[in-house]
Homo-oligomer: A and B are copies of this chain.
Amino acid sequence: MAEANFDARIKGLSDGQGRFSDQIHAMIERLPMFMKCSREEIEALAAIMKVYQAPPGVALVEEGEHSDFMMVLLEGGVRIVKEDSHHQRKIIASVVGAGTLLGEMSMADGEPRFATCVTTSPTTFAVLTRDSLDRIIQERPALGVRILEQIVKILTQRLRQTGSKFAEYL
């Protein structure tokens, strides 16, 4: 899947022609995830990532759907909701502020979305598709490695948090 296919209420800020890349550049260069990237790498990322804005109450991804892009939160917040085995919707996390990575699990393994992400305030986010990441890895392996290492770190931190909470229930 190459592109994100969003709800009509989600508005694209970039046009894929690099017209908004200065603005996107300014937003993504502040993210911890891309801290170690060179100026030139940030420019490459700004040209390849598309930025979107959503009002509150919109699902950016829905549990169970098939899509394989990941998102980096630039502004705003989302609630992460998952159905349990009795179809009860549980809020498993609420995240706010710049830098949170969302949707990287389906990007990593190609499986359906694990949970639904619903905006809780006006939200701006940047999208990196699996195809774009593959292209970065091919064309700029050093940048590809940096992104993968960041994803590994973020997944590890989540696993530590979830695993610790889970151990309490056993």
By a beta-carbon cutoff of 8 Å, the part of chain A in contact with chain B is: 82-85, 90-92, 104-105, 108-109, 111, 114-115, 137, 141-142, 144-145, 148-149, 151-153, 155-160, 162-170
Contact = CB atoms under 8 A, between A and B. Distances in A.
A147 B155 CA distance: 15
Contacts of A148: 145, 148-149, 152
Copies of this chain held together in the complex? 2
Contact of A145 (B144, B155, B158, B160): B144
Given A152-B155, A162-B163, 19 more contacts: A83-B167, A92-B163, A92-B167, A92-B170, A105-B156, A108-B153, A109-B156, A109-B160, A114-B159, A137-B145, A141-B142, A141-B145, A145-B145, A145-B148, A151-B152, A162-B166, A165-B166, A166-B166, A169-B169
A162 B160 contact: no
Contacts of A164: 82
A47 B145 CA distance: 22
A109 B153 contact: yes
B109 A170 contact: no
